[in-house]
Each structure stands twice: as structure tokens, then as C-alpha cells.
Structure 1
Amino acid sequence: MTGFPGRVVSRRRRDTASRATGWWRLLVAVAMALGTAVVLPRPADAATIDTTAYYQVVSRSSGKALAVQDGSTADQAQIVQYTTGAATSQQWQFVDSGGGYYRLRARHSGKVVDVAARSTADGAKVVQYTDNNGANQQFKPVDTDSGYLKLVNRNSGKVLDVYGRSTAEGAVISQYTDNNGANQQWRLVRVDAAPAHNPALPGYNADPQVRYLAGQYWIYPTSDGYADWGSTKFTAYSSPDLVNWTDHGVVLDLANVSWCHARAWAPTIAYRDGTYWLYFSACQQIGVARSTSPSGPFTDALGRPLVSTGQYGEQEIDPDVFVDDDGTAYLYFGSGNAEVARLSASMTAFATAPARITPASFREASNVFKRNGTYYLMYSENDTRSEDYRVDYATSASPLGPFTKAAGSPVLSKDTGAGILGTGHSSVVKVPGRDEWYIAYHRFRIPGGDGTHREVCIDTMTFASDGSINRIRPTLTGIAPVTP
């Protein structure tokens, strides 16, 4: 709900604004006379909004900031005003929707400001809601004066408004016919940027496999930046918190693999009985190497491929190993089709013949994990050279399938407004002892990346009450350090 029909700005308010403007002019005049510069923070105007930044949206009438009530992350949480502070629930990113309109995305939840039920009525409730780029989620910043803006809803033509011109903590925000009230005017105050943690790894890397091993988080990527994906070495990185990474250098060099010296792609790793097992793609075949340490060095365990080129009728690449609660290990692989086989106790042979489990729209990059008795198969759709490379997922009651594509797919895709393209080839990791999950994936390098100039990112992954994966928002900022 919002202010009252037919209201006008009081003479007193106009006089107050006039006096404020007068004091400002006097200050500038004095400064000029003294030959000194006046340096005060300049609020953003409509022409200078930075879509990579976060802003507090501060009411002209109350001095309080647009916020999500109680810091909620739920759909339909009320938008209110609170005293300005450091809470991320009052920090907003302006996501470009085109035509001068933006979605206001909450930093803490990833949801956007939304006029409830697409209402066009005065007094309609304003909430946060999952971003669907609806016209009722789009607002045009329109300059007024002195650095203040009105935020005009694309669906209704009405503006964001503090109910009843209230200055109270927690007063609700709604939409209302534009009457140029001070409670309809907002100042954008840029928030000092927190350290950006995306990309998570330095340089060009892709196809990240993230694991928790030996008391730390580890990432095993494809080294990128080579024409025709021509890397010949595998590297590893470790971290205590998923943010601060140590480069362990080369852990496996294909120069030391007798059956292939080219195209080192997409490794995966598992631990069993004191040994770390690295499964890797090379020459579009799959090999297995072993080490007594997650930092290597790894040595080829077979002297030949575990899976040879074309052996099962698809590109034999992108291995993923999953160890179930009972200790049984499974290997997933394939591009074009998905295969799964149970591994023997030796970890160097199949105990069962590979079986095809290809879900709808599958391209490559299988990654399997288990949560609350459900097996999740995450995979990539389209081509890694495409900006539409993205992550889908399917579920099953068994690690051997069948897997059914989830209704919520794709669950991770590009954000053109933020310049994030080609989000794919993912893996996920759970924080030990907590139902807290993170996803590692690659995207095109920013700026100017493509399908061979990619970088690894990490973002938060959450679940709905029915076990489905909530839409994952790729970010420029990444995550905060994960504490034990």
C-alpha cells in the first residue's frame, strides 16, 4: 500500500527543499571565493548507473534506504525502508532490461523488486520476487533535481513511493501515480565494492571440478587459452574457504602419459583407501592416474586409456566420478550422450558395462551428487563456444538412472546485463556438516572472452523445499569466504 489519492507536496516541504538548495549554492559560492574546492559525495543519476555496482536507494523524504523486510530471501517479502546500514538486503544492483529500464536486484537474495500480481493500481504492494524479467519488475530511472531520481514501473507507469510520506522505520513501499512527491524521489548511493571473488582462479581456466579433500577445498580445472583447446597439463588449486586459493602447479603432465600427449581436458578426482584417483580426458579418451596426495604428482595408473575414442559411440570425454554413501564408485562420461558404469574396487576398471542415461538436451559435462536420497545429474547444454552454453540438471532415485530432466532447467545461464556469457561445465561441493552448497563453473572471460578464453567462477546454490534446485544467479562478485 502507498500514499493517498490526490495528495500534493506541502508548501513546507517545498520551502525546505528550497532552503537546502540555497545552502548548497551559498557553500559553493564561499568555496569559490576562497579558491577552494568543495568535495562532497555525488549521487548517481540516470545516465551514470553502473550495472556492475551495488547501490543504496535512499528516500528523499525520510533519508532511509529501500530494503527487504527482515532481510528475507523469500519470494513475496515486502519492500520497506530502513535506516541506512551495511546490510546486503538494502544493496541493489541495476540489471539492464533495455529501453532505459532496469531490474533492481537484491544483493543478499538475488531476487528483484516486483509490483505484486502485475498490478497497475495505486497502492499496489511492492515485494521481492524471483527474476523473470517481467515488465512489472522493470523500472526506468528518471532524473528530477539535485541528484534524485524517480523509478517508473514499466508495466504500470507508476512510481516507487513511500506509503503516506512516512519517515518511520519499516514503512512499506508501494507504487503510486507520479505527483513529484519527495517520498517518490530516490538518491542512489554507491556502496563501496566488496572484493570481487569471481573469477575464483587467476588466468584462463575451464571445466572446474571442485571437491572437499583432506580438510580443504580443491579445484582441478582445464588449463585454457590455447587454440583448439590444446592444453597438455593438469593443475590443481586448494583453499580453506572457497575464496583464497593456492596454486599447486602441474599435477599431471601428458608428456608423462605414454598413450597421449595432447588435449588435457576436464579432470575429476576421488579418494579411496589412501589413494587419490584422477580421471582425465586426453586425445578424446579417458585415463586414470593416482597419487598419495591431492596435490600430486599423479602418475598414469594403466599405461593405456580406461575408455578409448569412440568406444561407446560418443566423444569419450568429461569424466565425473561419484562415490555413494555405501562406498560404491561410479564413473559418468561422454559428450553427445551420457554413460555411467560402476567402478571396480581397484578404481581402474569397470565392474559393470557402461549404460546410456542421456537426459533431454544433454551435451556434455556430467556431474553427479546426492542430497536427501535423490541423485542429481548436472550437465551442460549447447556448445562451449556459444554464449548460450548453460547448465541443466536431471534427477533419479538411483545412481544408474534413469534420469529425468528437471522442470527448472536450465538452472544456470548467461546474464547479458552483467556481461556474463557461456556459463557451463559445472560441479558442486557441499560444506561438510551443513546443507550448504556451492557451484563452480566457467564463463567467457570478462572482457573479450570466448570458448577458449574462459575463467572459473563460484556462486551459491540453494534448494527449494521440494528438493528442486533454485535458479542460480551468476555473479561478478562471487561468494564470501566460507567459514567452518
Structure 2
Amino acid sequence: MADKPTGPFVPQPLPIKGVRGIDPNVFIDKDGQAYLYWSQGNIYGAKLKENMLELASEPKTLGELPTKGLKEGPYLFERKGIYYLTYPHVANKTERLEYATSTSPLGPFTVKGVIMDESPTGCWTNHHSLLQFNNQWYLFYHHNDLSPKFDKNRSVRIDSLSFAADGSIRKVTPTLRGVGLTDARQKIQIDRYSRLSKQGAAIAFLDTANTFRGGKRSSPAAPAGCSTTASRLAPKR
């Protein structure tokens, strides 16, 4: 623990008593009460004492979640009085991101749906977090983009996330370009030019053994007003 976010941090001699598992997530409610969530086959939650080092309640199994398939990586947040418990779940072959809602931090929860489908490339895990910044919600998650042959090495992705009027989370489809604005006067990476996908274009690595060399556009001709290099797409001036 530390007395400021930047540390220095001092390891505690013992783990929190009564907690056995992985993927801890701490949520602090509007009234200041802190909760700890973790996973170990199921997902568990409990209140934390003010010192943040001891449980203030017995661990509760959040048993309203799916019983079939691995569940882990819980992340809880609150929005407009609704508590969202989000978690990776292996419903089929690999993890997808799902969520359940409640009017209480410890449930009971009702499963609502899928935030992000399984990866089409077969990356087995997908752990995540969600937060709001400047009135926009974002989903942080991971993939094996930088290690396509070994999905235990994971790189971070981010995409925008939104809610429907009834509070449900709209499913997020990876954009492969993340968030933010690209200066139209600058060269941009081919895989960040979203309109190419509508014209049947595809990209491929220049060298699959060294993916950091970049990529190339494989088809078709570049859109009018654009020219290409081996790894970038740039507007003509």
C-alpha cells in the first residue's frame, strides 16, 4: 500500500483474509463504501473495511451468472443508479465480454447480454475495464495483435462504448483503429482507414515473421484521391 497513487508501495505481509482467487477489482460506491470483486471459478464480492485491507462482510458468490463455462475478470461500475457487473465468459470456445445488472453492488444480478463477441481470430482471453471520460464511455480490452501466434502476450485496445435509452450496453465491435482523431493531412495506417473495408480492400503483413515491418493493401485499387505506400495510405495534395 502507499499514501499516494505514484507510491512508493509497500507489500503487505499477508493477503486479505477470506479472499482466494484472481483478477481483483475494487469499486467505491457514491456513499464511500468500497467493495472487492474477484474470481475463482465463480465471481465473488464483499464489502471492504475502511482500511481497504480487510473484508467487512462475508464473501458472496454472485450466483445469478451463467453456470456453464469459465467466468473471470470481474469489473463493476455504476451508472444512473444501475450497477453493471461485467466479466469475460467462455460461452462457446473462447472468452466474450458479457454483463449483468442490479440495483445493489452485491446483487442479485440479472444477465443482460454481450458487450463484445468472441474474437474472430481465436484469441482465447479478453479481459477489460470501462470508464467515462469527458462524457464519453470507453471500453479497454486486450488482444494478441502484436503476437498473433502466441495469445498469452497481449496488447491493449480501446474503443468507444455507448448505452441505449433503457440503460443497456450497445455491443462493441472492434474498430481496429481505436479512438481519437486523425489529422487528414497526415499519412495514416491502412488498417485505420475504415472506409476501405466497405470497398473490399484487405491488408496483410509484409513479413509474418516480423510484423513490426508493417502491412500492405492487397486489393482493390486505392480510392480516388488517395495513393498508397507499402504500409500507409496518404491523401494526394
Report the TM-score when normalising by structure 1.
Answer: 0.35
CA RMSD of aligned residues (A): 2.3
* Cα drift, residue 420 of structure 1: 7.5
Q: Which of 157, 163, 166 is the aligned partner of 1:463?
A: 163
Q: How many pairs align?
A: 178
Distance 2:43 2:9 in 1: 26
Distance 1:387 1:439 in 2: 22
* Cα drift, residue 334 of structure 1: 1.3
Distance 2:90 2:8 in 1: 34
Q: Does 1:379 find its partner at 2:83? A: no
Q: Name the structure 2 match of 1:35.
A: none
Higher relative contact order (CA 8 A, sep 6+): 1
Distance 2:149 2:158 in 1: 18
* Cα drift, residue 292 of structure 1: 2.8
Q: Name the structure 1 match of 2:137.
A: 437
* Cα drift, residue 351 of structure 1: 0.7
Distance 1:292 1:413 in 2: 39
Q: Does 1:479 find its partner at 2:185? A: no
* Cα drift, residue 382 of structure 1: 2.1
Q: Which has the higher Rg, Structure 1 or Structure 2? A: 1
* Cα drift, residue 425 of structure 1: 1.0
Q: Name the structure 2 match of 1:348.
A: 53
Q: Name the structure 2 match of 1:294.
A: 5
* Cα drift, residue 335 of structure 1: 2.6
Q: Residues 21 and 40 of structure 2 are in contact (CA less than 8 Å); yes or no, is this contact kept in structure 1?
A: yes
Pairing 1:67-466 to 2, within 5 Å after superposition? 290-301=1-12, 303-307=13-17, 316-358=21-63, 359-360=65-66, 363-382=71-90, 388-406=94-112, 409-416=113-120, 419=121, 421-422=123-124, 424-432=126-134, 434=135, 436-446=136-146, 448-466=148-166
Give, as a single letter, the amino acid of the residue that structure 2 aligns with 1:430: Q
Q: Residues 413 and 424 of structure 1 are in contact (CA less than 8 Å); yes or no, is this contact kept in structure 2?
A: no
* Cα drift, residue 410 of structure 1: 2.3
Report the TM-score when normalising by structure 2.
Answer: 0.68
Q: Cα deviation per residue 1:234-292 (whole Å; 9 max; x = unaligned)? A: xxxxxxxxxxxxxxxxxxxxxxxxxxxxxxxxxxxxxxxxxxxxxxxxxxxxxxxx123
Distance 1:343 1:405 in 2: 25
Q: Structure 2: which 5+ runs fail to align?
A: 182-237
Q: Residues 377 and 395 of structure 1 are in contact (CA less than 8 Å); yes or no, is this contact kept in structure 2?
A: yes
Distance 2:93 2:144 in 1: 8
CA change 1:449–1:476 in 2 (3 A) is farther
More helix by share: 1
Q: Name the structure 2 match of 1:205.
A: none
Query: SS at 1:291's partner residue?
Result: coil
* Cα drift, residue 423 of structure 1: 5.8
Distance 1:363 1:415 in 2: 16
Q: Residues 420 and 444 of structure 1 are in contact (CA less than 8 Å); yes or no, is this contact kept in structure 2?
A: no
